Amino acid sequence: MSPKRGDRAAPPPAPGEWDVRFATAEAAKGWDCLSGQAPGNLRTAWQAMRTDPAPAARSDRHHCLKGDLARGTHKGRTIDRWQIEVTAGGRIWYLVDAERRTVWIDRASTGHPKATE
């Protein structure tokens, strides 16, 4: 069964970890595509979201988005949006809900997002 909006991207979090869930059905489908294309990189990205979704030490491959893309809305709340570069073109965008210790994946794709060009 394919994942859908609201589903977890993996098993429940262990103590101290963040819950990683899909904000949209499209993100869940994109996650499936990424898992076929780059399973090792996707696992590394999932682990980063699970343990430190908003790292103080940002990199070119893992950082907060800028401008109009820097924040997104989920369930009526506006929160910070981050990006992990999984492959040369593949990206995961996610919202960090610190209050609920939940990461909401709102975009996952194998191609570079046109919105950041």
The model's pLDDT over 27-53, given as tens digits with 9 standing for 90+, comes to 999 999 999 999 999 999 999 999 999
Farthest CA pair distance, the chain: 38
Half-sphere exposure for 4 (CA within 13 Å, toward CB): 1
Spans of all domains in the chain: 26-52+63-112
Pairing mode of beta strands 71-74, 102-109: unpaired
Query: pLDDT digits over 72-97, tens only?
Result: 999 999 999 999 999 999 999 999 99
Return the structure tokens found at 113: 């997002």
Q: How confident is the model at residue 21 (pLDDT cuts 50, 70, 90)?
A: very high
